[in-house]
Structures are given as C-alpha cells and as structure tokens.
C-alpha cells in the first residue's frame, strides 16, 4: 500500500516563557497557527525502515524524527513493521516553523492505516509528546492554545483575517540554545494568551504586543539580521511582525492579501526565502491520500 499526505508548517502567534520546570523544560504559552506551506510525505509498505529526502539539511537515518516516530509506534504496539518514507521538503529546517515535528506527526497519523493496526488517539498523542514538545499540535489541530512545554493543547478555530508573510533568512537557530538564553521570567498572568489574541484581532495594529515572543530579545541580539528583517516587514506594511518559535523565521501579518503579496515579492528580490499565506487560510480537513 502507498499513502501520501501533506505536513503543514506553523507559526507561533505569541510565545511566552513563564519559567523553568524541574524536568529541565520550560513552561510556555503560545498560539500555534498553520500556514500554507507543507512538506509532502509518502509512505510505502516494505520490510525494513528507510527514509529518502530531497533535502541536504536533514538526516535520513535513525536520527530523523520520522524514523523515531516509526520506532516508537512499533515499540508501543509490540511490532516490527517496516516502511519506506519519502519526504519532499518545502519547510526549511531550523526555521521555527515546526517542519520536522509536522513530518513526524504526519508519519504517526498515517502508520496505523498503512500497517492496518488500531491505535487510540491517546496513544498517538502520547507518542507525539515523547517525540517533541510541538509534535502533538501537528496531529490534527488547525490552531491551538499550547501550554505546558507546548504539548498541552486546546484546539480552537482561529479565522485569521490577516495574510501572513513568513521570511526565512537561511540562519538556523538551535532551540535548546535559545531556551538557554532566557535567564529571567517576567511575572505575567498565565493562560490568557488565546483570549488576549482573540480580543486584539479586531485592531491588531495597536495591539501588536499580543504576538510578543520572549525569544526575540536573545535571538535578535545574536542575529541582528533577524531584527532588521522584522523591521523590513513592518516597513513593507505589516500590521505587526514577530519571530516564529525560536526562529529564525520572522513573519508579518498584513491587512490585505495584495499588500502581503507585494511585500513577499519585494523580500524575495532581496534573496530571502519568503512564504505567503492568504487571509482566512485553513488547511484542508482531510489531507491523507491513498494511492492505489
């Protein structure tokens, strides 16, 4: 059997780091939101596990998160199934767009069908959380309020009436490094980000602080080019702009699709990888295809 599906990327609409936990992770709060950028995943039945990819930026051995997803599901189910994974990468790696996590979650979602086994939603969610803090989000939600280490999710519908332009300047930021730079934690009321965001959406221009990302200060200090990129997005007409995750992607929200497209073209001409998502974009509800 052959199955194929799209693995969509995300941005973080606000990212607050509330403190360090006893397990070494950080307690965070964010709103995950899908964008119109995806990797293409194709799974084929075979006896062993193998990964093929068209990207030089990611490994194709056991260290690939998709391979770890296969191993984990086999372990959980007491099986030794194989699979041939083909990854066509469009989401840049180390960009704060969740590419590796989206791919792994999509593999997890497809495997039960490929192997003809039944796996409960809670077992799948457990596997996802063990693979990485933001993998759970990619199991299905289109937008979600994330808490805990990013794995405790409350999905909700976010009809974002702003077009999104995401810029990836080719810098790879290490997430553990970025967390390691956060020394102080601001006293803030936790758990209100979703509510604050929904409230601010009618007048985002004057409420840009709602998409504040705590990683910006240390990441912009280390990579000044990223702070300049945020400024360029604002100059190009973005209503507000922010770093996604721990970077290095920076996104801008635009009131009009046309101004967003113009900004994307302008930034592209400066040789910056730029991805455009129209206002109101929602990922197709069923993106899994069965190829006979």
- Rounded CA-CA distance 30/150 in Å is 7
| 100 lies in the site for ligand C5P, by CB under 6 A | no
How far apart are the C-alpha atoms of 178 and 194, rounded to whole Å?
A: 24
Binding mask 175-194 for ligand C5P (x = CB under 6 A): xx--x---------------
Residue 223 is a binding residue for ligand C5P (CB under 6 A): no
DSSP-based helix, strand, coil % in the chain, nearest 5? 35, 30, 35
Q: What's the closest the beta carbon of residue 29 comes to ligand C5P, in angstroms? A: 10
Is the Cβ–Cβ distance between 16 and 28 less than 8 Å? Answer: yes
Minimum gap (Å) between residue 122 Cβ and ligand C5P = 19
Instruction: Count Cα neighbours of 173 within 13 Å in the Cβ-side half-sphere.
Output: 30
Should residue 9 be labelled a site residue for ligand C5P when binding is judged by CB under 6 A? no
10 has catalytic annotation = yes
Please give the Cα distance from 49 to 47 (Å, whole number).
7
- Mark the segment that binds ligand C5P (CB under 6 A) among 37-45, 78-86, 174-182, 188-196: 174-182
Token readout for 236 is: 């190009």
Least spacing, CB of residue 178 vs ligand C5P, in Å: 8
Rule CB under 6 A: choose which of 30, 64, 133, 244 binds ligand C5P.
Answer: 133
Instruction: Give the distance, in angstroms, between the CA of residue 26 and the centroid of all CA atoms in the same chain.
Output: 18
- What residues from 140 to 169 belong to the interface with ligand C5P (CB under 6 A)? 149-150
- Residue 280's closest CA among 244, 255, 249, 243? 255
Q: Which residues form the catalytic set?
A: 10, 134
Interaction site with ligand C5P (CB under 6 A) = 25-26, 28, 132-133, 149-150, 175-176, 179
């Amino acid at each position: 059997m052959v199955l194929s599906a799209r693995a969509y990327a995300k941005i973080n609409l606000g990212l607050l780091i509330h403190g360090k936990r006893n397990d070494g992770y950080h307690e965070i709060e964010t709103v995950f939101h899908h964008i119109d950028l995806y990797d293409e995943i194709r799974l084929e039945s075979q006896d062993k596990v193998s990964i093929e990819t068209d990207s030089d930026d990611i490994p194709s051995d056991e260290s690939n998160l998709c391979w770890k997803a296969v191993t984990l599901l086999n372990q959980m189910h007491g099986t030794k199934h194989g699979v041939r994974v083909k990854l066509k990468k469009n989401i840049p790696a180390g960009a704060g767009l969740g590419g590796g996590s989206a791919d792994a979650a999509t593999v997890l979602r497809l495997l039960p069908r490929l192997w003809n086994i039944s796996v409960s939603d809670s077992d799948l969610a457990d596997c996802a959380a063990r693979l990485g803090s933001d993998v759970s989000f990619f199991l299905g939600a289109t937008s979600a309020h994330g808490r805990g280490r990013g794995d405790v999710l409350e999905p909700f519908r976010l009809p974002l009436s702003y077009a999104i332009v995401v810029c990836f300047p080719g810098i790879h930021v290490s997430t553990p490094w970025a967390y390691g730079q956060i020394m102080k934690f601001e006293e803030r009321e936790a758990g209100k980000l979703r509510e604050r965001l929904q409230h601010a959406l009618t007048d985002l221009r004057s409420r840009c602080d709602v998409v504040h990302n705590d990683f910006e200060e240390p990441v912009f200090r280390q990579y000044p080019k990223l702070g300049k990129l945020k400024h360029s997005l604002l100059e190009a007409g973005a209503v507000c702009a922010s770093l996604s995750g721990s970077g290095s992607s920076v996104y801008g929200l635009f009131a009009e699709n046309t101004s967003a497209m113009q900004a994307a073209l302008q930034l592209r001409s400066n040789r910056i990888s730029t991805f455009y998502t129209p206002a109101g974009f929602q990922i197709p509800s069923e993106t899994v295809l069965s190829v006979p």
